[in-house]
Amino acid sequence: MPAQQQTIALAQYEVTQGQPDLNVEQILGFLKAAKAAGASVLVLPEMCTTGFHWEQNRLLLNDAHKVIDHLCQAARKYQTALTGSFLEKTERGNAANTQYFIDSTGQIVAKYRKVHLFTLFNEQSHVESGSEITTVDTTIGRCGLSVCYDLRFPELFRKCALAGAEIQILPAAFPHPRLEHWQTLNRARAIENQCYFIAVNQCGVETHQGDDQDTHYFGHSMVVDPWGQVLLEAGEDSGLFTLEIDLSDVSKVRNHLTALRDRRPDLY
């Protein structure tokens, strides 16, 4: 059974487009610092080793597994779990936007392929969508996995909560001008499911393939508790942010305000 109190590390940074070696170097620095801070897990943003230039990413597909192998070795070296969204080559040879959860022994204990693809950036033309909702038992508790645009679809998070998720983890690349949406939806997903919500966003600027304008990611990575209180909210700059959470707060809130038990699935 996981210890009730856990230290979590969030790595918010600007992803260098199409340069996995440079991004992995950043991640290794964050992982070392997270270990030094006593963190059980390091949470990374969306597409955290490649960014979103899909023409470039097609060229990186065949070696995508090597990046994950390298990070598995690093997790084992630093005895610190890590999770984030990465480029993955599917069984059909397509690109996928996939969240991995790698435990502190370097084992991949769960994968979640992004279900809701971001049509505003034409992601569905470049990425094979997932078809399964994923929860996983980890050393920090039972976690639900999700990626970025999923945030706007509450049904996914409710299904994770009903599967026992105490913590929801969301790697993201949310840009201006939707900061208020980000802040509001992160709190809403935590409140309605009475869980910890950990959302790690990119920062910096990126040019998306086919777009005329640069995309400005606003950071503001967040941790929200099961009562909806914001425990941590970063600014727009790169950095490593750590805090301690108490898993017992999940059961306390759920027992105090029994919203999950009071649902009417016979009607909806």
pLDDT tens track for 133-147: 999 999 999 999 999
| Cα(210)–Cα(188) distance, integer angstroms | 33
| Cα(109)–Cα(139) distance, integer angstroms | 11
Nearest to 125 by CA among 205, 192, 209: 209
The band of 211, judged by pLDDT with boundaries at 50, 70 and 90, is: low
Give per-residue burial for 44-54: e unless 16+ CB within 10 Å, then b.
bbbbbbbbbbb
Whole-angstrom CA distances from 36 to 30, 42, 78, 103 are: 10, 12, 9, 17
The band of 89, judged by pLDDT with boundaries at 50, 70 and 90, is: very high
pLDDT number for residue 17: 95
Q: Are 179 and 201 in contact (CB under 8 A)?
A: no
| Cα(97)–Cα(89) distance, integer angstroms | 9
Catalytic site residues? Answer: 46, 114, 148
CATH of 5-256, one of 3.40.30.10, 3.10.20.30, 3.60.110.10, 3.40.50.1370: 3.60.110.10
pLDDT tens track for 100-132: 999 999 999 999 999 999 999 999 999 999 999
**Rg, the chain, Cα only:** 17
The band of 1, judged by pLDDT with boundaries at 50, 70 and 90, is: confident
Q: Taking residues 61-89, what's their average pLDDT?
A: 98
| Cα(113)–Cα(106) distance, integer angstroms | 20
Percentage of the chain exceeding pLDDT 70? 98
Each domain of the chain, given as residue ranges in start order, spans 5-256
Q: Taking residues 55-79, what's their average pLDDT?
A: 97
pTM of the model: 0.96
Whole-angstrom CA distances from 7 to 42, 153, 238, 244, 261 are: 9, 28, 19, 4, 29
- Asked if the model's pLDDT at residue 210 lies above 60, the reply is no
Percentage of the chain exceeding pLDDT 90? 96
pLDDT number for residue 207: 82
Choice between 207 and 117, residue whose per-residue pLDDT is larger:
117
